[in-house]
Amino acid sequence: MRLQALRGATTCTEDSKAEIDAKTAQLVRELFTRNDLAVDDVVSMIFTTTPDLTAEFPAGAARVALGLDGVALLGAQEQDVPHGPQRCIRVLVHCYSDRPREELRHVFLEGAASLRADLADPE
């Protein structure tokens, strides 16, 4: 087992608690599924949001929806870059995995798929 880092991002259609909760849960579940992760494999997760998402903390949404009470979670705000994506949630997951780095499956959903098409796995 080796400590690895997984990246993911998604976008929301609106700034609401329900939307942030749903999109965060979908993103994290997809990262776990595509990489065969269990909660016990995860060391920490760092979430960021663009400044236009203020209705909920993605870390809180992930903790509640996915039972991540024992995982260190942190939230931060992205820079407000004029050409950056709108209503975007990103996550960096530190986890233990037997997979080599080149076999990790990063997840970029919705409007965030264009952020790192070189890393994203289509499904």
The yes-or-no verdict on residue 119 having pLDDT over 90 is: no
Residue 17 lies in a domain: yes
How many other C-beta atoms lie within 10 A of the C-beta of residue 100?
9
Residue 119 lies in a domain: no
The yes-or-no verdict on residue 42 having pLDDT over 90 is: yes
Sole residue written with tokens 């996915």:
66
The strand pairing partners of 89, in sequence order, are 10, 49
Residue 120 lies in a domain: no
pTM equals 0.92
SS (H, E, C) 26-65: HHHHHHHHHCCCCHHHEEEEEEEECCCCCCCCHHHHHHHH
What are the backbone angles phi and psi of residue 58, rounded to the nearest 5°? Answer: -60, -35
Residue 61 lies in a domain: yes
What CATH number does residue 53 fall under? 3.30.1330.40
Residue 33 lies in a domain: yes
pLDDT (tens digit per residue) in 72-114: 999 999 999 998 899 999 999 999 999 999 999 999 998 888 7
Residue 121 lies in a domain: no
Q: How many structural domains does the chain have?
A: 1
